Structure 1
Amino acid sequence: MAGRAEGFGRFSIGGLHGPLYSVTTLADDGPGSLREGCRRQEPLWIVFEVSGTINLVSQLSVSSYKTIDGRGQRIKVAGKGLRLKECEHVIVCNLEFEGGRGHDIDGIQIKPNSRHIWIDRCSLRDYDDGLIDITRQSTDITVSRCYFAQHDKTMLIGADASHVGDRCIRVTIHHCFFNGTRQRHPRLRFGKVHLYNNYTRNWGIYAVCASVEAQVGKGERYIEAGQKKKTFEFYTEKAADRQGASSGLIRSEGDVLLNGAQSCLLQGVGENCVFHPGEYYPTWTLESPLDSLKDVLQICTGWQSIPRPAGM
């Protein structure tokens, strides 16, 4: 798994060079708990010997060089979520996140100054705040094959127009299924996001929002409207170190717009203002947005009943 991410998070190695750590209890803390493994400072590849729900009483901080590998079991994180604070090289794979409660409680919160992160094949729903939030100069992140449902503010990238350091943010989101979530698929400020081969269906306000100086790179996305037809939103804000306000840029190229979803008119002075992902990484798995891809994304995103590799 390590080193197999695509996009901006492709250099994440997680706990590749550390030993296995086995989670043997669903308790919030203590020997054999997920929290105990995540707080250790050495590289670890964390696996699970139990299935069930881990009810967190506080946010679970993940230290650098950790892989949290849910393959072979079914683990649901509830109550609170993961916090990736000032860390690097973290991989989170094949977990469920549901029912997080409390102000500023996200399923996965990535801030500040975290980098080389890969979130893969996770199911996320029903948190009081975001499902995945990426803010405060966190960058070089990939979110892939994830399933998002039953939520309002799904994914925030760049939290405030005053956080001008977020110009460094770079995120890749691919092969994800946003199923009836209300908004923020994602909402972006300042940074660069490459969206491709995603399926966004039946949103409540908009599908994707680009605000102050944001750039959303070319897609090949399935975008299927429900009652709300507005696909792209452009909010105008003023960066703290600029005189004038601006919105963001979205390149809508190769998108399949279904059920009356409105097409994107590029905002700004021209298409060349939007970055091209080829400037940053040489290859990615780009598939034609055919009906078969839409069908696959409905069944192959999120937590999957897949075995842990032999020998682990």
Structure 2
Amino acid sequence: MGSLPYADVDSTLRAIAGQAEGFGRFAIGGLHGPLFPVTTLADDGPGSLREACRRPGPGWIVFKVSGVIQLSSYLNVGSHKTIDGRGERVKLTGKGLRLKECENVIVCNMEFEGGRGHDVDGIQIKPNSKHIWIDRCSFKDYDDGLIDITRGSTDITVSRCYFAQHDKTMLIGADPSHVGDRCIRVTIHHCFFDGTRQRHPRLRFGKVHLYNNYTKHWDVYAVCASVEAQIYSQCNIYEAGKKKKTFEFYTEKDPVWRLSALFE
């Protein structure tokens, strides 16, 4: 076996690259790029997160400030980027991150809260993005989803994240007609869904591995599958409140409909 691409990284900062479990395990983010320090909470301009994200080439983005960044529009994240919130406390509000046609992205130790507007998600992953790891982030109160993974995006891990104060938490697979989502593969592990109403996740097509998650007091269902969905649910805790239905199966009107879901 050849050496791993992250074998010689700085163990004090970049050692997380390539350390995800599950389908996103090959995400190395901006491992081979320079450090981009964020020095202002401004939405744009010199030293801002937006400026760092649009720089060409790989980059490892770190923060020298704590506080709230009010985004006026989606923040587009390109390939080979790490947004590393360790060491500071940074919250994104107003809008969220958009990972569009990109690969090798890591987002860790960030807060997302209060996203407003039509189709505004905390992190929106579409189309055709891959090798993505979202780790140790918190998500609350967006007008659409907290994390949406659709339109052929795959090889993604969501780990150790906190979800609260929300309705439609996580959508995986766009709609019953989008057969291109058959390629989707997502791992979700060690996450806490704290009273969010539904979609932990909601899956069409694709494959999802859920393990060691804690889902508490949902209001519609905990997990939903339809249209060729394949879910492996392993060692999770489901603590029901008033609503007792844990797993939901939806039959959707589509000529390619076929459901294959496995729960353990």
Same topology, TM > 0.5: yes
Aligned position for 2:148 = 133
Q: CA deviation at 1:217?
A: 1.1
Structure 2: unaligned runs, 5 residues or longer: 1-15
Aligned position for 1:21 = 36
Aligned position for 2:193 = 178
Of residues 102, 115, 129, the one that matches 2:130 is 115
CA–CA separation in structure 1 for the residues paired with 2:254 and 2:122: 28
Q: CA deviation at 1:218?
A: 3.6
Q: CA deviation at 1:238?
A: 4.2
Of residues 225, 245, 251, the one that matches 1:210 is 225
Q: Which amino acid aligns with 2:262?
A: I
Give the 3-state SS of the residue equivalent to 1:105 in structure 2. coil
Give the 3-state SS of the residue equivalent to 1:50 in structure 2. coil
Equivalent pairs, count: 249
8 A contact 1:234–1:248 mirrored in 2: no
Aligned position for 2:98 = 83
Q: CA deviation at 1:237?
A: 1.9
Aligned position for 2:178 = 163
Give the 3-state SS of the residue equivalent to 2:157 in structure 1. strand
Q: Deviations over 1:141-199 (max 9, x none)?
A: 00000000000000000020111000000000000000000000000000100000000
Give the 3-state SS of the residue equivalent to 2:234 in structure 1. coil
Give the 3-state SS of the residue equivalent to 2:50 in structure 1. helix
CA–CA separation in structure 2 for the residues paired with 1:39 and 1:135: 22
Say what the alpha-carbon RMSD is for the aligned residues: 0.9
Give the 3-state SS of the residue equivalent to 2:69 in structure 1. strand
Residue 246 in structure 1 maps to residue 258 in structure 2: yes
Structure 1 segment 1-312 matched on structure 2, within 5 A? 1-239=16-254, 242=256, 245-251=257-263, 253=264
Looking at secondary structure, tell me which structure has more strand per residue: 2
8 A contact 1:235–1:247 mirrored in 2: no
Q: Which amino acid aligns with 1:211?
A: S
CA–CA separation in structure 1 for the residues paired with 2:94 and 2:204: 28
Q: Deviations over 1:12-67 (max 9, x none)?
A: 00000001000000000011000011111210000000000000000000000000
Percent of residue pairs bearing the same amino acid type = 79
Q: CA deviation at 1:239?
A: 4.2
CA–CA separation in structure 1 for the residues paired with 2:125 and 2:146: 11
Give the 3-state SS of the residue equivalent to 1:156 in structure 2. strand
Query: Is the alpha carbon distance of 1:250 and 1:238 closer, same or farther for their aligned partners in structure 2, counting shifts above 3 Å?
Result: farther
Give the 3-state SS of the residue equivalent to 1:92 in structure 2. strand
Structure 1: unaligned runs, 5 residues or longer: 254-312
CA–CA separation in structure 1 for the residues paired with 2:179 and 2:153: 12
Q: Deviations over 1:126-149 (max 9, x none)?
A: 000000000000000000000000
Aligned position for 1:285 = none
CA–CA separation in structure 2 for the residues paired with 1:239 and 1:159: 13
Q: CA deviation at 1:250?
A: 3.2
Aligned position for 2:6 = none
8 A contact 1:212–1:238 mirrored in 2: no
- Which moves more between the two structures, 94-103 or 209-218? 209-218
Aligned position for 2:8 = none
Q: Which amino acid aligns with 1:249?
A: A
CA–CA separation in structure 1 for the residues paired with 2:158 and 2:62: 20
Runs of 4+ in 1 over 6 A off after TM superposition: none
Give the 3-state SS of the residue equivalent to 1:37 in structure 2. helix
Q: Which amino acid aligns with 1:56?
A: L
Give the 3-state SS of the residue equivalent to 1:57 in structure 2. coil
8 A contact 1:195–1:221 mirrored in 2: yes
CA–CA separation in structure 2 for the residues paired with 1:71 and 1:117: 18
CA–CA separation in structure 2 for the residues paired with 1:43 and 1:239: 41
